[in-house]
């Protein structure tokens, strides 16, 4: 009942492990897959190793998580064994990559393809650093940069290219259209929402980086709205992500227009078997509401 397909990838259900959450090693991602995730999206990797921001980098509350991990990663080269291990286990693997410019995105994507990735997801929520412009703006805010990066990656690899969009923009539909124009096979929305917390006794921001990204249940309405707007703006499939914690949330995301749903923070709230739990909750709802397939839910809130 939940079988589906995304960019040519056959999926046992529409639930994916979102990038950055318990996905730095193959055994962890394998556990998510064995607990119901149809595919895994890896931690964002770049061309060079990065240690990330100092602690604290993540804060948890009942309603949201705040993180500022600072793109800590071992580099695509050291990540090779993890990708190979996942593919040895036949786990659909989407490699999330980041870079400072189109050329580096393309280089990283090519390596991911060489190591066996089924698709790449471009995290465009990082600063743009070109040869002559050392201090960059966030790439994901600039439609022409998003288009250029997507195009260069598309011209370099054969595997599907997914652009992961930031909600911290004026109009996310404009950015989705730019990704589609650049040839993206799909878009993911949304990445974390910019935020800050202050310790009132210390009179200082709590995160070492001061600002961070908000995820989890509190951002669900923002994610649903983004997917709804994007669905009206583009023809390519959407991976809906942001605050999805229950089967009802996942169905809501499909109805907003998502073809698949990625789950991140809910792993912290409900455990690595959250995928199985959400799958069962979806099936239960579908039975009670006479709904036979995923197709009967995608985008129906628009009709
Ligand atoms: C600790 C942490 C690390 C993350 N790292 C990445 C990353 O490397 N690349 C990326 O595109 N998104 C990253 N994200 C964003 C998530 O993939 C997701 O878009 C966001 O958390 C919203 O979904 P959620 O509410 O289900 O967590 C990260 C999120 C968290 C909480």
Per-residue pLDDT band at 133 (split at 50, 70, 90) = very low
User: Tokens 């291990």 identify what position?
Assistant: 85
Residue 136: is its pLDDT beyond 70? Answer: no
Q: Kindly give, in sequence order, each residue whose CB lies less than 8 Å from that of residue 240, ignoring residues fewer than 6 positions away.
A: 189, 223, 224, 227, 253, 254, 256, 257, 258, 260, 261, 262
- Would you state the structure tokens that stand for residue 153, as one six-digit string? 């990656």
| CA 191 to ligand 1 centroid distance, Å | 6
* Average pLDDT of the segment spanning 148-155: 97
pLDDT tens, position by position, 163-175: 999 999 999 999 9
Rounded to whole angstroms, what are the CA distances from 164 to 50, 180, 249? 20, 12, 20
Whole-structure pTM value:
0.96
Predicted local confidence at residue 100, as pLDDT: 87
Tell me the mean pLDDT in the region 135-145: 80
Cα of 19 vs centre of ligand 1, distance in Å, is 5
pLDDT value of position 125: 79
CATH number at residue 239: 3.20.20.70
How many whole angstroms from 63 Cα to the centroid of ligand 1? 15
User: Which atom of ligand 1 is closest in space to residue 243's alpha carbon?
Assistant: 25
pLDDT of 131 > 50? The answer is: no
Q: Is 126 an annotated catalytic residue?
A: yes
pLDDT tens digits for 269-284? 999 999 999 999 999 9
DSSP conformation letters of 35-90:
TT-SEEEPPPB-SS-B--PPSP-EEE-SS-EEE---S-B--HHHHHHHHHHHHHTT
Task: Evaluate: CB of 73 within 6 angstroms of ligand 1.
Answer: no
β-pair partners for 210: 207
How confident is the model at residue 135, as a pLDDT?
A: 44
User: What is the mean predicted confidence (pLDDT) over 245-252?
Assistant: 98
| Mean pLDDT in residue range 59-69 | 92
242 lines ligand 1 (CB under 6 A): yes
Question: If pLDDT is split at 50, 70 and 90, which confidence band does 134 have?
Answer: very low
Indicate the number of domains in the chain. Answer: 1
The per-residue pLDDT of the chain, averaged, comes to 93
Domain holding 136, by residue range, is 4-302
Is ligand 1 within 6 A of the CB of residue 20?
yes
Mean per-residue pLDDT, 28-51: 94
């Amino acid at each position: 009942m939940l079988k589906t397909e995304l960019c040519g990838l056959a999926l046992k259900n529409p639930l994916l492990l979102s990038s950055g959450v318990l996905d730095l090693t193959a055994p962890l991602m394998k556990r998510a897959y064995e607990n119901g995730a149809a595919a895994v999206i890896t931690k964002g990797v770049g061309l060079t190793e990065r240690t990330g921001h100092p602690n604290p980098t993540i804060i948890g509350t009942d309603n949201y998580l705040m993180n500022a991990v600072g793109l800590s990663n071992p580099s695509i080269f050291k990540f090779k064994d993890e990708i190979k291990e996942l593919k040895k286990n036949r786990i659909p693997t989407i490699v999330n990559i980041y870079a400072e410019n189109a050329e580096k995105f393309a280089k990283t994507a090519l390596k991911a393809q060489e190591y066996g990735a089924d698709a790449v997801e471009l995290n465009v929520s990082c600063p743009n650093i070109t040869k002559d412009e050392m201090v960059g703006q966030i790439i994901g805010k600039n439609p022409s940069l998003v288009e250029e990066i997507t195009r260069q990656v598309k011209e370099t690899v054969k595997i599907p290219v997914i652009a992961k969009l930031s909600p911290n923009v004026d109009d996310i539909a404009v950015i989705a259209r730019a990704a589609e124009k650049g040839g993206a096979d799909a878009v993911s929305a949304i990445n974390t929402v910019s935020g800050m917390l202050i310790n009132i006794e210390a009179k200082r921001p709590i995160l070492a980086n001061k600002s961070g990204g908000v995820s989890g249940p509190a951002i669900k309405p923002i994610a649903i709205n983004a997917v709804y707007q994007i669905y009206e703006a583009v023809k390519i499939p959407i991976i809906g992500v942001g605050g999805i914690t229950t089967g009802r949330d996942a169905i809501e995301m499909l109805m907003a227009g998502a073809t698949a749903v990625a789950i991140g923070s809910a792993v912290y709230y409900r455990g690595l078997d959250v995928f199985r739990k959400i799958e069962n909750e979806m099936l239960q709802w579908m039975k009670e509401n006479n709904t036979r397939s995923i197709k009967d839910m995608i985008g129906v809130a628009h009709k």
